[in-house]
Structure 1
Amino acid sequence: MKRLTLTITAFLGIVLFFSGEMAHVHAETSRKSGAEIDLKRFKEEESIIRDPENPANKVDPGETPQTDGDLRIDFVPKLNFSTVKRTDEAAVYPINAQLFHDETSARGNFIQVSDYRDTSSGWTLQVRQEEQFKHVTKIGAELKGAVISFDQAWTNSTRDASLSPTVSKEVIHMSNIGDTYNLAQAQNEKGSGTWSIVFGASKENKNGRPNSLELRKDSSGNSIEDPIFKKPVYSNQAITLTVPKETEKETGAYSTVLTWILAELP
């Protein structure tokens, strides 16, 4: 079984005031060259990132780690749970929604997978958390018991819905550090072309999905501007980080490492 992997850092900042901190990304890729047109199937050589709600439209989410080849990961989100006020109670922190450098409005966070192999034998998209959220500067401080959860999963593509990979209808709680969790699976003859695996949606979506996005505001009720995209920040309730009450919470930034895995089915 061939596996393609990407690693990405997720951030959470716990401070007394709101501010922004973006994720840093490192990619480990397995690359395969070649793209062509044959009588059966068109193969996209270039990884074009598409609007998860309107996949006929191209979007610019900024730089992202990718894998190459006929079966590849085109895009993974930079997970940022924003900067929040410290609390001694249990807390659930929603992720920042996906923003773009073009006119596209905020979207649910998504992963884009492309399969242009001659034979669509299927694939599985997985994610693994390599370590608990650790304090960036204070050695030994971590958010014990913190859990990332993925909810409101759906798929979208310009391809026919009958070819869609399947996603979980239940909430995926990544309760065990080091375990691998399935996010989507395409059986034989499914998942060909380019697909977005999406968590949450905007209120503008025409896909019948409930709105999971909400404008983030500071303590004065003003919208918060993202320093990279120069746009208002939205939270996305479809991906959350839960921190138990009994967890010791030091102020400052925390980070963890997620590995995204795209595996061919045998």
Structure 2
Amino acid sequence: MSKSYKVVALSAVAALFCSVMTAPAVMADPNEAESDVTIEFIVPDDTDVPTVVDPTDPSITFPVTPGDRDPGDPDDPVTGFSGPLTLDFVSSLDFGTVAISAQSQEYESLTLRPFVQVTDRRGTREGWALTVSLSEFRDEEGETSLSGAVLNLENASLVTPGVGGDNTPEGLAGSIALDSNGTSANVTVAGEGTGAGTWLTRWLAPVGETPNPNVTLTVPGGAATVGDHEATLTWILTNAPE
């Protein structure tokens, strides 16, 4: 009697264990909740000067001190303009020392990486326009010189350390010819909805080439006189395309 009872009890325990092991799992309904990601942008204050970036690799900073730059780079200081829309850097152009010619000659620039930089941090995408003009050349005595000289900027390209795509200015002048009468020419025009962030317009020499065939000065025969000659490029940034 006692032995039979034990067998029944063990059988009951085994049946209970099997029922527990084979019971279907209960599936919980998925939980879903929402949270926010927020950020507020403000216009930079009037003391905030943008960083000038390298014209070949805009992911790095262009040296502020001219003496720290590579040969062939422009030796200009940064402009120091601050605020929401700024012209950050403009390049001077050096054509070196050349012999006087009786014929018209085209001279290539020794400045291998000339560029200008504009930064738009207004956050409105209103657009902007950059123009340039060339003054008369003057000699060492301050007299007008190099009559008929023409400065040519060819094969311009745009680069940004930020987002391009639809934000890229479409009004890039691939070829600019400047005479010394002060007439301005468009350099880069960012229409409405474009030009946000930092943009560099550049006239780089092809890799390994010296001097720079994309920046030339044409001087008519008989126009040159002995000594240094200098003209001024005036770059103007306006806050809406013209």
TM-score (norm 1): 0.65
Q: Which residue of structure 1 lines up, in the alignment, with residue 214 of structure 2?
A: 238
C-alpha distance in structure 2 between counterparts of 1:92 and 1:244, whole Å: 9
Q: How many residues align?
A: 188
1:119 lines up with 2:120 in the alignment: no
How far the C-alpha of 1:64 sits from its partner, in A, is 3.0
Q: Residue type of the partner of 1:133?
A: F
Work out which of the two has the higher radius of gyration on C-alpha atoms and give 1 or 2. Answer: 2
Structure 2 Cα separation of the partners of residues 48 and 141 of structure 1: 37
Separation in structure 2 between the aligned mates of residue 250 and residue 157 of structure 1, nearest angstrom: 41
Give 2:191's aligned amino acid: Q
Q: Deviations over 1:125-168 (max 9, x none)?
A: 100113x211122x545101000111110100122222122312
Deviation string 1:38-73 (CA, Å, 9 cap, x unpaired) is 624785933211111211101215223342211001
Q: In structure 2, what is the equivalent of residue 148 of structure 1?
A: 151
Rounded to whole Å, the distance in 1 between the matches of 2:220 and 2:80 is 34
Q: Measured at CA, do residues 197 and 50 of structure 1 come closer, stay the same or move farther in structure 2, by a change above 3 Å?
A: same
Between the aligned partners of 1:142 and 1:94, the Cα distance in structure 2 is 19
**2:149–2:180 CA contact under 8 A, matched in 1:** no
Contact residue 123 and residue 264 of structure 1 kept, 8 A:
yes
Larger displacement relative to structure 2 (194-203 or 112-121): 194-203
Pairs within 5 Å for 1:202-217: 202-203=206-207, 213-214=209-210
* 2:68 is aligned with 1:67: no
State the AA in 2 paired with 1:243: V
User: Can you list the C-alpha shifts for 1:222-252, whole angstroms capped at 9, x where unaligned?
Assistant: xxxxxxxxxxxxx22111110012x332110
The answer for the alignment partner of 2:134 in structure 1 is 129
Cα separation, 2, equivalents of 1:90 and 1:135: 19
The residue number in structure 2 matching 1:81 is: 95
Check conservation: 1:41, 1:116, Cα contact below 8 A.
no
Among residues 173, 194, 200, which one is paired with 1:196 in the alignment? 200
Structure number with the bigger relative contact order (C-alpha 8 A, sep ≥ 6) is: 1
What is the correspondence of 1:1-266 to structure 2 with a 5 Å cutoff?
39-40=40-41, 45-60=48-63, 62=66, 63-97=77-111, 107-130=112-135, 132-137=136-141, 140=143, 142-162=145-165, 163-166=167-170, 167-169=172-174, 171-175=175-179, 177-203=181-207, 213-214=209-210, 235-245=211-221, 247-265=222-240
Question: Does the C-alpha gap of structure 1 residues 249 and 95 become closer, same or farther in structure 2, counting only changes over 3 Å?
Answer: same
Query: Which amino acid counterpart does residue 162 of structure 2 have in structure 1?
Result: R
Distance 1:96 1:172 in 2: 18
The residue identity in structure 1 corresponding to 2:150 is V
Q: Deviations over 1:61-89 (max 9, x none)?
A: 52233422110011001222212122212
* Mapped contact 1:151–1:200 kept (Cα < 8 A): no
Point out where structure 2 has 5 or more consecutive residues left out of the alignment: 1-38, 67-76
Higher strand share: 1
Q: Structure 1 CA distance, aligned partners of 2:186 and 2:49? A: 26
SS of aligned partner of 1:160: coil
Name the CA shift for 1:202/1:59 in 2 (closer, same or farther; >3 Å). Answer: farther
The share of aligned pairs that are identical, in percent, is 28
Change (3 A) 1:64 1:158: closer
Q: Distance in 1 between matches of 2:131 and 2:117?
A: 13
Extract unaligned runs of 5+ from structure 1: 1-37, 98-106, 204-210, 215-234
Mapped to 2, the partners of 1:39 and 1:250 lie a distance apart of 60
